[in-house]
Amino acid sequence: MKKLFDLFITFAKMGAVTFGGGYAMLPILQREIVENKKWGTEEELADYYAIGQCTPGVIAVNVATFIGRKTAGNLGGVIATLGVVFPSVVIITLLAGVIEYYSSLEWVKHAFAGIRVCVCVLIFNAVLKLFKKSIIDIKTMAIYLTILACSFIFNISPVVFVIAAGFAGIVLKVWAQ
């Protein structure tokens, strides 16, 4: 029961301070889940993000579900998911009635512009951490550069890139043997 409560509170705290979606949550997840709670590794978190992007729903919710399930089974997955969405549901419900009035105020527009810039920095820092853990040899660098180039050239779903990168990882591993 204590572990379930800890899952809910941990993910509720993250859900309450994460602005900008699942990618903005990555640095918080890295600190809380990997460093503080030790519920997963950097590599697992990167895998959960990749899978979370390929599955329907919000990435942050999907990742919370994966981590909760790994930590405390199916019920843990449900509890972590409820924890991460709970703050948003409460905040959105409270803001829904007043958003029309306040969104037109100049200081609110400027505040959101600043928040968007901050979210970009947080995402960039998370990407750098993942990059350092993911690019471990020439093969992973080749996959990275290929997918990066293709993402600029082709306007296709990220799911295709994730599947292609997974397939390339398998082929390169088997080919090396």
Q: 27 and 68: one domain?
A: yes
Q: 41 and 52: one domain?
A: yes
Q: 65 and 30: one domain?
A: yes
Number of compact structural domains in the chain? 2
Give how far Cα 90 sits from Cα of 71, 82, 83, Å.
26, 12, 12
Identify whether the C-beta of residue 70 lies closer than 8 Å to the C-beta of residue 32: no
Of 94, 92, 67, 57, nearest to 6 by C-alpha is 67
Q: Domain limits at 151?
A: 135-177
What pLDDT does residue 93 have?
Answer: 86
Q: 71 and 102: one domain?
A: yes
The per-residue pLDDT string of the chain (177 residues; one tens digit each, 9 = 90 and over) reads 899 999 999 999 988 877 666 667 778 888 888 999 999 888 898 888 888 877 777 788 888 999 999 999 999 999 999 999 999 889 888 887 787 778 788 888 898 889 889 888 888 888 888 888 889 899 999 999 999 999 999 999 888 998 999 999 999 888 877
Q: 54 and 25: one domain?
A: yes
| Secondary structure class of 56 (helix, strand, coil) | coil
Q: 123 and 141: one domain?
A: no
Q: 168 and 97: one domain?
A: no
What pLDDT does residue 165 have?
Answer: 92
What pLDDT does residue 66 have?
Answer: 93
pTM: predicted TM-score of the whole model, two decimal places: 0.62
Q: 84 and 114: one domain?
A: yes
Q: 11 and 88: one domain?
A: yes
What pLDDT does residue 21 have?
Answer: 64
